[in-house]
């Protein structure tokens, strides 16, 4: 009887080791990020654009948000459909023309609070003295929250990498991003290594060995 129990225990232990090893092997190629430091957002572009539709347009758009956040005499405005109106009272136009206040706007319809939060989290170091205004749209409360397409427009690969590398961003905050991505993972066609990092960080949080492994795969 003792030998039988020992046999089954050994088989179970071996199966666990193989399973953990397989998961690590299959995920390590998507989780490795080469640069050990927070990536600097830099661009050859000079000057600030008054309006940026999406950060998905590339590094120039990301750099525009960076410049806006560090601009001491201006305001960074985040909003949704209000920013794409043809009205003369559109915020960045009206404030610049009538209030002598430099306003740089970011966003369009469907860009909601969690997309904005994640973009700002990627620029955590630039927030301390930033002047930020967020337009809360009534339409947000009629939907199920930020959709994945809008999220990925503002939580770009560069900004997700900055969040991963920033050791002053808490594990709980990073897992929050992972929770959102995990709930929407089947809607993401090509996740990439950064998105997989967050998903795994959330998914394996109750498994100590895997949790430590994924947490340190920066």
- pLDDT at residue 11 tops 60: no
pLDDT band of residue 5 (cuts 50, 70, 90) is very low
What is the model's pLDDT at position 30?
A: 43
pLDDT band of residue 101 (cuts 50, 70, 90) is confident
**What would the pLDDT profile of 70-84 be if each residue is shown by its tens digit?**
998 899 999 999 998
Domain boundaries, the chain: 2-31+170-215, 51-144
**What would the pLDDT profile of 106-150 be if each residue is shown by its tens digit?**
999 999 999 999 999 999 999 999 999 999 988 888 888 899 999
- What does the DSSP assignment read for the chain? -HHHHHHHHHHHHHHHHHHHHHHHHHHHHHH--S--SPPP---S--S--SEES-GGG-HHHHHHHHHHHH-TTEEEEE-SGGGG--STT-HHHHHHHHS--EEEEE--TT--HHHHHHHHHHTGGG-TT--EEEPPPGGGGGSSS--HHHHHHHS-HHHHHHHHH-TTS-HHHHHHHHHHHHHTGGG-SS-HHHHHHHHHHHHTTT-HHHHHHHHT--
Provide the whole-model pTM. 0.78
**What would the pLDDT profile of 36-51 be if each residue is shown by its tens digit?**
567 787 787 777 889 9
């Amino acid at each position: 009887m003792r030998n039988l129990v020992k046999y089954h225990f050994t088989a179970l232990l071996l199966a666990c080791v193989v399973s953990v090893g397989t998961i690590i092997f299959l995920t390590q190629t998507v989780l490795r990020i080469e640069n050990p430091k927070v990536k600097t957002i830099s661009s050859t572009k000079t000057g600030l654009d008054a309006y940026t539709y999406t950060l998905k347009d590339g590094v120039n758009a990301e750099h525009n948000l960076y410049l806006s956040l560090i601009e001491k005499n201006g305001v960074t405005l985040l909003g949704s459909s209000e920013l794409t109106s043809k009205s003369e009272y559109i915020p960045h136009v009206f404030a610049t023309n009538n209030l002598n206040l430099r306003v740089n706007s970011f966003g369009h319809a469907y860009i909601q609070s969690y997309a904005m939060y994640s973009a700002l989290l990627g620029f955590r170091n630039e927030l301390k003295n930033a002047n930020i205004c967020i337009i809360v749209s009534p339409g947000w409360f009629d939907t199920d929250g930020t959709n994945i397409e809008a999220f990925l427009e503002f939580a770009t690969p560069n900004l997700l990498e900055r969040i991963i590398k920033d050791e002053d961003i808490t594990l709980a905050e990073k897992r929050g991003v992972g929770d959102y991505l995990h709930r929407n993972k089947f809607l993401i066609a090509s996740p990439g290594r950064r998105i997989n990092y967050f998903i795994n960080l959330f998914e394996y949080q109750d498994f100590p060995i895997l949790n430590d492994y994924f947490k340190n795969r920066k």
